């Protein structure tokens, strides 16, 4: 990608994207509006514009931002990549209004009002400009990247030119410098243990032997252990499954029937006579401390923290801290409003590229800043969903 066009309706975010793309790639950026318009709001002649454009296109590298339908066929002939902002009309109108009163790198002046002529030009874009652009793109032999939301454009910048190396979720040991840390999804063999991406077990005595810490896990009972994404599980954890439960409605809880000999003839209880508690479910982004015991059928909510040596015998709400034996909730990690925002965000279910882009929000200790950023993120997400 060396010769790039950025086209689409005004207000869609073309110039902002072109500026970011130039910063990331090092390709020189040329805004066609800056070439065509003078600071006194007059324009150069078409001949001058064509000469300048020709000089730019003869260079080895460039980004050309702007539509200018008359010269678009020439630019498409030279370009190897075309980014097309095909956003809804209401989004483009809102974008044009939002930039009023702001200095712009793509225009030699600052607009304080959206004049009627330009508003109408945007309103007419779907009928007068869009069909011609689509027709030109149909015969274009280069690479076309079409954005229908601004989030798609932002994701392209974050993903394609991301400088970071994201850990491979499919590796057993993601960091060779920490051999005690294992992505346990990649070593599980029992199909009734379901573990999400990036969830790890840390144990110097063999983190890849996580299944040994799931006890009384009998196939005939059929219960499951379900662990979400991005959980951190420390050494010595024990998941006690339903096979550990004994019948409790008789004079004795002793299981004579499994001991063999003549005792083996004693009638074993049927499934509905056992105190079975169902699946054990650990949410997402849960931190479980060392030597924790988790009893059958427990549900631990997203974002919870379980203290060292705790025994969890009842459900733990999302974003709560639980300690002790039996464990009790000592406090919530955040206020109700913040917890609701985090549960709406569900960052752990997003594509890893989007999670990487969210990392500054997810890792800041400034809770008010985090809340503001998540609120704005969700607002943009909702508005884009409504426009689709």
Catalytically active residues are: 246
Q: Give the number of C-alpha atoms closer than 13 A to the C-alpha of residue 342, restricted to the C-beta side.
A: 23
Phi and psi at residue 43, in whole multiples of 5°?
Answer: -125, 160
Tokens of residue 256, six digits? 């004579």
User: Is the bond preceding residue 326 a cis peptide, omega within 30 degrees?
Assistant: yes
Name the nearest CA neighbour of 247 among 276, 219, 220, 222. Answer: 276
* SS3 at position 164: coil
Cα–Cα distance measured from residue 319 to residue 360, given in angstroms and rounded to the nearest whole number: 20
Pairing of strands 328-332, 320-323: antiparallel
Cα–Cα distance measured from residue 300 to residue 311, given in angstroms and rounded to the nearest whole number: 12
Scanning the structure block, which residue is given the tokens 């003839």?
Answer: 265
Cα–Cα distance measured from residue 206 to residue 224, given in angstroms and rounded to the nearest whole number: 23
* SS3 at position 298: coil
Residue 230, phi-psi category: left (phi > 0), alpha (psi -120 to 50), beta (remainder)? left
* SS3 at position 69: helix
Pairing of strands 320-323, 143-147: unpaired
């Amino acid at each position: 990608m060396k010769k790039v066009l950025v086209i689409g309706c005004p207000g869609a975010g073309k110039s902002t994207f072109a500026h970011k793309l130039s910063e990331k790639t090092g390709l020189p950026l040329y805004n066609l509006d800056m070439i065509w318009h003078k600071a006194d709001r007059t324009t150069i002649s078409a001949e001058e514009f064509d000469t300048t454009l020709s000089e730019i296109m003869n260079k080895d590298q460039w980004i050309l931002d702007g539509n200018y339908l008359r010269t678009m066929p020439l630019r498409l002939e030279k370009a190897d990549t075309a980014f097309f902002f095909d956003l809804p009309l209401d989004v483009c109108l809102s974008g044009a209004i939002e930039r009023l009163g702001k200095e712009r790198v793509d225009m030699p002046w600052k607009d304080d009002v959206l004049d009627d002529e330009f508003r109408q030009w945007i309103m007419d874009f779907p009928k007068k400009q869009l069909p011609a652009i689509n027709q030109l793109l149909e015969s274009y032999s280069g690479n076309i990247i079409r954005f229908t939301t601004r989030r798609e454009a932002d994701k392209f910048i974050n993903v394609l030119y991301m400088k970071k190396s994201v850990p491979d979720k499919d590796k057993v040991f993601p960091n060779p410098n920490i051999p005690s840390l294992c992505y346990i999804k990649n070593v599980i063999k029992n199909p009734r243990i379901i573990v999400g991406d990036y969830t790890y077990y840390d144990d110097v005595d063999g983190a890849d032997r996580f299944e040994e810490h799931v006890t009384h896990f009998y196939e005939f009972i059929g219960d499951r252990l379900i662990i979400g994404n991005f959980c951190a599980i420390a050494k010595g954890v024990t998941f006690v499954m339903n096979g550990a439960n004994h019948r409790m409605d008789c004079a004795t809880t002793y299981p004579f029937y499994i001991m063999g000999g003549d005792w083996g003839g004693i009638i074993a209880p049927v499934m509905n006579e056992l105190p079975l508690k169902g699946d054990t479910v650990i949410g997402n982004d849960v931190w479980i401390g060392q030597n924790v015991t988790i009893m059958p059928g427990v549900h631990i909510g997203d974002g919870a923290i379980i203290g060292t040596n705790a025994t969890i015998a009842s459900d733990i709400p999302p974003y709560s801290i639980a300690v002790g034996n039996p464990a009790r909730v000592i406090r919530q990690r955040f206020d109700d409003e913040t917890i609701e925002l985090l549960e709406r965000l569900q960052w752990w279910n997003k594509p890893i590229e989007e999670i990487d882009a969210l990392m500054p929000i997810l890792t800041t200790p400034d809770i008010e800043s985090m809340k503001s950023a998540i609120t704005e993120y969700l607002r943009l997400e909702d508005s884009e969903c409504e426009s689709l």
